[in-house]
């Protein structure tokens, strides 16, 4: 190649490079001109779910759609009023993600829009609020590089330029009302139709703000959690085959928290199975820093007292009764009532339906990590010890220090520990030492003890040199005590004494020196033969539990002087055969439990207890004992002759009574006082397993009766005169009953259970019960087949959209079901749907039972697979199908409705759907689940306007708690009593 050729090649190369650079500048100019739409689209496709001009929401917005729809419903976008809706929940739950997703969908409907993120963090920085106000002005006025000199000037600018505009405003992560007032000045400038979304961890802040509605973001369910974890760990919607069990363990650790699932999935991505196992073990001991940092912000904002309460609960009191813990912490001087309220409002604590304290596992771990950080290498210098390994290390090496305030040790078997190990713990106030055998002198223990929990204590009584003068709660369940203390101990701060299941305890101590005792629990003290007369000195006692004290013969008369007593439990005291006429002196009594006693008749003063709300007298037949087997196999315990009159002649004074249980009390019609019908507060009445031939007429007069139980009243021939307020009627096993009449006036009836009523030939008025949710006619073979099929069709084809369920005899899927098949699965294509139409899926299953079928776990549920969309949804009806194993084995027909779309399931015209009635897995090896022999599907389409009118009429005829709850179909008596007391 010549020199000229080389020069020419260089020139051509330079020219080409110039053209390339020119092209790049040209493209860059276009991208600038069009506001980088191309790049935004790439970001949207690869990283985020985002609409044009919207906000980046989440890389994989799993479970977001249904939550967005729920939020939009709360915002009521069609109205012209100004609405403020709060989103609250624990850190990392997805509050900001939800707010941004809602904003993306609706901001184009408004004249102006702004989303101010991380307000708490930004407002803490220099001129943070001013920068937020500048962003707000820019977002709505679209004026770039706007600078204002002060917050006041910025607010004035907003008022001048925004007043009356219809805007959407998102205020994210607010923890102080002053932040909102500084940004929006009480929202005075908002125009009609404006909407404000506020996200916070503090529910109480939303109450102070006076929001129109609150939305609590809940954890993801199992399927959503697996999906989100899998996207981040494997780049697909489900775990890889070899990682399924590990993925479930990871999901269990994350507890449905989106932040934890995303962090965990990304952290485990590309790791081997062995690495997964190791990392999951490590995470349980040392939570991930990124997750902990987010969660800890809620803790850091608490004051000292609330921090102490939080750490105490996280380390010692999860799953314990709320009132029990309140006694302990109140004794420590920490004001737990207000503390619990603050913790709940900030999503750091939950109280479940059983009044137990609950915490998300990651919140709990965060609290324990805070304690651990105080002294990572020396557990004896931490203020709380709960890990068995750390506690034993400290006790065996005697390294406990003055820093230790609480210690918990739960051992599986009895183990010796020297009392000297506690000598250095001078500030110990909380001590739990279950299955510990203490050796040595008890003077080594701190005098600051407020809580002593010592299950399986091997001592025969409390040592006299055990300084417990500041003790508030003494919990000695399953102890080896013969007596509690030998000499009088002065425990003048003690409020709770629990000696449950101390089976060697024969007598109680003198209560002279425990004047402030409020709760005395002696349940299961089977050798206890007497209660000390000094119990009458306990003027503050509110609860006395003697349940299962089967050798207790009489109650001391002094018990009837306890005017503060609210709850008395004598259940299982089979040798107690009478209550004194002085029972009426217990003026504060709200609950009396006397099941399985020898009581023949209650004293007449019983009818004067005007504050009594709950009375349980099941099995009180006047006999000292009764076989437990008869509760499970009642046909082996024939009805006794000579019915008793357990109740006094008059009960009209029980004006507060809400629940009365007279189950299996050998009662006839004459055993029910006529003035029982005057109990205007009574909501639940259980007369099961009694000797009625006809239902006492006074029951029809009860104005507020919601629940009536008549199951296994085998002499009952007919039922009439039912109160119009009735919601739940259970007459299962009434084998002599032929007719059930006058149901047409029961406008609020939700559940009707008539299984095993084998002589039943007529149910009058059932067809008019439009809103009955659950009807059980299992074993009612005398009902004409045509009647059954006609009723089934009218019931399921009605306009009611809710979760209604019917079970009745039958071995074939009705021919009006559009899709029928043998086995448990059926497929179909979704018909053409017009806009707004609501689908309801009718599911029918023929169920077969035999003697090996497990009766308590048979809950068939439906799995819907949308083959077109590649999605799967599970739906479980709220019914426990109990087979009739006593009588002849037969098939039953189960039919229920599934509203579609539900929270997740979506169907579009032409989608191919496979529906399977899945048999619930049974863990008991000897039992098997119910067999699904045939199934059928029928789709109903409803006009939304019709449904709106239908629901309006429903809400007019029932009160709000029924409309929301719809009554659980299988519930225990304690659940029922709790429900009645809350109504």
For the chain, the straight-line distance linking the first and the last C-alpha, in angstroms and rounded, comes to 100
Q: Given pLDDT bands bounded at 50, 70 and 90, which one contains residue 478?
A: very high
Q: How is the beta sheet containing 762-763 ordered, strand by strand? A: 718-719, 739-740, 762-763
Alpha-carbon span 979 to 976, nearest angstrom? 5
- Which pairs from 319-325 meet CB under 8 Å and 24+ separation? 319/356, 319/357, 319/358, 320/356, 320/357, 321/355, 321/356, 321/357, 322/351, 322/355, 322/356, 322/357, 323/355, 324/473, 324/496, 325/357
pLDDT, position 902 = 45
**94: burial class by Cβ within 10 Å (0-12, 13-18, 19+)?**
buried
Tell me the angle at which helices 361-374 and 289-300 cross, rounded to the nearest 10 degrees.
80
pLDDT, position 407 = 97
pLDDT, position 728 = 93
pLDDT tens, position by position, 492-529: 999 999 999 999 999 888 898 999 999 999 999 999 99
Please name every residue paired with 384 in a beta bridge, in sequence order, or none if there are none.
Answer: 406
pLDDT, position 91 = 86
**692: burial class by Cβ within 10 Å (0-12, 13-18, 19+)?**
buried
pLDDT, position 720 = 81
Q: Which of 133-137, 233-237, 497-501, 839-843 has the highest mean pLDDT?
A: 497-501
pLDDT, position 959 = 36
Alpha-carbon span 48 to 61, nearest angstrom? 8
pLDDT, position 905 = 54
Of residues 170, 106, 164, the one with CA closest to residue 132: 170
pLDDT, position 850 = 60
The residue ranking higher by pLDDT, 866 or 920, is: 866
pLDDT of residue 786 exceeding 60: yes
Q: Which of 233-237, 722-726, 915-919 has the highest mean pLDDT?
A: 722-726
Of residues 872, 855, 854, the one with CA closest to residue 863: 872
pLDDT of residue 784 exceeding 60: yes
Q: Given pLDDT bands bounded at 50, 70 and 90, which one contains residue 875?
A: confident
pLDDT, position 975 = 46
Alpha-carbon span 878 to 866, nearest angstrom? 23
Structure tokens at 117: 């993120």
Alpha-carbon span 812 to 933, nearest angstrom? 9
pLDDT of residue 378 exceeding 90: yes
Of residues 218, 226, 121, 134, the one with CA closest to residue 179: 121
Q: Given pLDDT bands bounded at 50, 70 and 90, which one contains residue 924?
A: very low
Q: Given pLDDT bands bounded at 50, 70 and 90, which one contains residue 345?
A: confident
pLDDT tens, position by position, 530-560: 999 999 999 999 999 999 999 998 899 999 9
The mean pLDDT value for 814-826 works out to: 90
pTM of the predicted structure, to 2 decimals: 0.77
pLDDT, position 684 = 96
Residues 6+ away with beta carbon under 8 Å from 369: 286, 287, 292
- Residue-averaged pLDDT of the chain: 81
Secondary structure (3-state) at 812: coil
% of the chain at pLDDT higher than 70: 80
pLDDT of residue 442 exceeding 60: yes
pLDDT of residue 958 exceeding 80: no
pLDDT of residue 978 exceeding 50: no
pLDDT of residue 37 exceeding 50: no
DSSP string, 541-570: --EEE-TT-TT-----GGGGG-TT--EEE-
The mean pLDDT value for 211-216 works out to: 92
pLDDT tens, position by position, 55-76: 777 666 787 888 888 898 899 8
pLDDT of residue 142 exceeding 70: yes
pLDDT of residue 30 exceeding 70: no
The mean pLDDT value for 391-417 works out to: 94
pLDDT tens, position by position, 747-771: 888 889 998 899 999 888 877 666 6
pLDDT, position 417 = 94
The residue ranking higher by pLDDT, 880 or 702, is: 702
The mean pLDDT value for 728-754 works out to: 89
pLDDT, position 18 = 63
The owner of tokens 């820019």 is 138
pLDDT, position 132 = 83
Q: Which of 120-124, 188-192, 413-417, 801-805 has the highest mean pLDDT?
A: 413-417
pLDDT of residue 972 exceeding 50: no
Residues 6+ away with beta carbon under 8 Å from 632: none
Q: Given pLDDT bands bounded at 50, 70 and 90, which one contains residue 120?
A: confident
The mean pLDDT value for 102-123 works out to: 88
Q: Given pLDDT bands bounded at 50, 70 and 90, which one contains residue 613?
A: very high
Q: Given pLDDT bands bounded at 50, 70 and 90, which one contains residue 146?
A: low
The residue ranking higher by pLDDT, 27 or 842, is: 842
pLDDT, position 13 = 65
The mean pLDDT value for 338-366 works out to: 89
Q: Which of the residue ranges 18-22, 506-510, 648-652, 664-668 would you say has the lowest mean pLDDT? A: 18-22
pLDDT, position 55 = 72
pLDDT, position 671 = 86
Alpha helices in 255-402 (DSSP H): 258-268, 273-285, 289-300, 304-312, 322-331, 336-345, 361-374, 388-397
pLDDT of residue 884 exceeding 50: no
Alpha-carbon span 18 to 40, nearest angstrom? 28
């Amino acid at each position: 190649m010549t020199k000229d050729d080389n020069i020419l090649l260089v020139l051509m190369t330079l020219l080409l490079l110039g053209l390339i650079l020119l092209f790049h500048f040209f493209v860059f100019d276009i991208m600038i001109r069009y506001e980088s739409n191309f790049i935004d689209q790439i970001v949207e496709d690869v990283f985020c779910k985002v609409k044009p001009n919207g906000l980046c929401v989440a890389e994989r917005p799993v479970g977001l759609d249904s939550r967005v729809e729920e939020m939009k419903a709360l915002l009521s976008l069609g109205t012209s009023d100004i609405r403020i809706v709060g989103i609250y929940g624990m850190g990392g739950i997805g509050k900001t993600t939800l707010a941004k997703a809602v904003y993306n969908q609706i901001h184009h409907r408004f004249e102006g829009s702004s989303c101010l993120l991380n307000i708490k963090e930004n407002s803490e920085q220099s001129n943070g609020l001013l920068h937020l106000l500048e962003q707000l002005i820019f977002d709505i006025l679209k004026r770039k590089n706007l600078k204002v000199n002060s917050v006041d000037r910025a607010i004035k600018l907003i008022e001048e330029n925004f007043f009356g505009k219809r805007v959407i405003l998102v205020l994210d992560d607010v923890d102080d009302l002053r932040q909102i007032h500084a940004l929006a000045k009480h929202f005075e400038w908002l125009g009609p139709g404006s909407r404000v979304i506020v996200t916070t961890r503090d529910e109480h802040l939303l109450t102070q703000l006076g929001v129109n509605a609150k939305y609590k973001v809940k954890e993801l369910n199992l399927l959503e959690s697996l999906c989100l974890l899998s996207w981040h760990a494997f780049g697909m919607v489900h775990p890889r085959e070899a990682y399924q069990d590990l993925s479930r363990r990871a999901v269990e650790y994350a507890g449905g928290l989106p932040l934890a699932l995303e962090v965990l999935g990304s952290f485990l991505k590309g790791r081997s199975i062995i690495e997964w196992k190791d990392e999951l073990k490590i995470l349980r001991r040392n939570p991930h820093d990124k997750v902990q940092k987010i969660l800890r912000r809620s803790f850091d904002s608490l004051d000292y007292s609330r921090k102490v309460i939080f750490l105490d609960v996280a380390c010692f009191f999860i799953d314990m009764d709320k009132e029990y813990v309140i006694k302990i912490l109140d004794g420590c001087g920490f004001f737990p009532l207000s503390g619990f309220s603050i913790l709940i409002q900030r999503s750091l604590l939950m109280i479940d339906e059983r009044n137990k304290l609950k915490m998300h596992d990651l919140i709990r771990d965060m609290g324990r990590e805070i304690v651990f950080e105080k002294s990572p290498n020396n557990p004896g210098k931490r203020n709380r010890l709960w890990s068995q390994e750390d506690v034993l290390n400290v006790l065996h090496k005697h390294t406990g220090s003055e820093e230790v305030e609480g210690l918990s040790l739960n051992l599986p078997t009895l183990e010796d520990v020297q009392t000297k190990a506690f000598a250095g713990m001078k500030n110990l106030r909380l001590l739990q030492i279950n299955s510990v055998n203490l050796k040595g002198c008890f003077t080594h223990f701190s005098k600051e003890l407020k809580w002593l929990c010592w299950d399986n204590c091997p001592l025969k009584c409390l040592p006299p040199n055990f300084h417990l003068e500041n003790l508030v709660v003494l919990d000695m369940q399953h102890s080896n005590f013969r007596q509690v203390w030998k000499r009088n101990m002065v425990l003048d701060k003690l409020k709770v004494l629990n000696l449950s299941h101390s089976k060697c305890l024969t007598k109680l101590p003198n209560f002279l020196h425990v004047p402030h005792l409020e709760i005395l629990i002696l349940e299961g003290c089977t050798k206890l033969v007497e209660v000390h007369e000094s119990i009458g000195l306990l003027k503050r006692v509110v609860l006395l539990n003697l349940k299962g004290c089967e050798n207790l013969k009489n109650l001391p008369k002094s018990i009837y002087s306890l005017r503060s007593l609210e709850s008395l439990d004598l259940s299982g005291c089979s040798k107690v055969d009478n209550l004194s006429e002085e029972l009426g002196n217990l003026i504060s009594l709200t609950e009396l439990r006397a099941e399985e006693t020898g009581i023949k008749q209650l004293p007449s003063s019983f009818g004067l207890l005007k504050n009594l709300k709950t009375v349980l007298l099941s099995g009180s037949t006047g006999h000292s004992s009764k076989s437990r087997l008869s509760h499970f196999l009642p046909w082996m315990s024939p009805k006794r002759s000579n019915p008793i009159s357990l109740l006094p002649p008059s009960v009209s004074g029980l004006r507060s009574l809400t629940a009365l249980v007279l189950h299996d009390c050998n009662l006839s019609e004459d055993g029910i006082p006529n003035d029982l019908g005057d109990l205007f507060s009574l909501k639940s009445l259980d007369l099961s397993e009694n000797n009625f031939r006809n239902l006492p007429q006074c029951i029809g007069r009860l104005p507020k009766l919601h629940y009536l139980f008549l199951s296994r009243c085998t002499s009952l021939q007919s039922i009439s005169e039912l109160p119009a307020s009735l919601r739940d009627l259970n007459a299962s096993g009434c084998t002599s009953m032929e007719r059930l009449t006058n149901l047409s006036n029961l406008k609020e009836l939700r559940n009707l259970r008539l299984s095993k009523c084998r002589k039943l030939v007529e149910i009058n008025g059932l067809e008019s019960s439009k809103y009955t949710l659950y009807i059980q006619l299992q074993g009612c073979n005398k009902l004409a087949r045509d009647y059954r099929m006609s009723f089934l069709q009218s019931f399921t084809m009605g306009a009611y959209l809710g979760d209604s369920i019917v079970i009745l005899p039958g071995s074939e899927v009705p021919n009006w079901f559009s899709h029928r098949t043998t086995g448990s699965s059926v497929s179909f294509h979704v018909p053409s749907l017009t806009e707004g139409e609501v689908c309801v899926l009718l599911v029918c299953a023929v169920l077969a039972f035999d003697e090996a079928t497990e009766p308590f776990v048979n809950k068939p549920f439906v799995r819907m697979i949308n083959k077109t969309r590649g999605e799967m949804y599970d739906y479980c009806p709220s019914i426990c199908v109990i087979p009739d194993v006593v009588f002849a084995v037969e098939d039953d027909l189960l039919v229920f409705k599934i509203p579609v779309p539900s929270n997740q399931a979506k169907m579009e015209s032409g989608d191919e759907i496979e529906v399977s009635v899945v048999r619930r897995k049974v863990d008991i090896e000897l039992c098997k689940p119910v067999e699904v022999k045939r199934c059928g599907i029928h789709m109903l389409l409803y006009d939304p306007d019709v449904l709106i009118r239908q629901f309006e009429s429903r809400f007019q005829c029932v009160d709000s708690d029924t409309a929301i709850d719809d009554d659980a179909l299988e519930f225990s008596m304690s659940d029922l009593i709790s429900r009645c007391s809350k109504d």
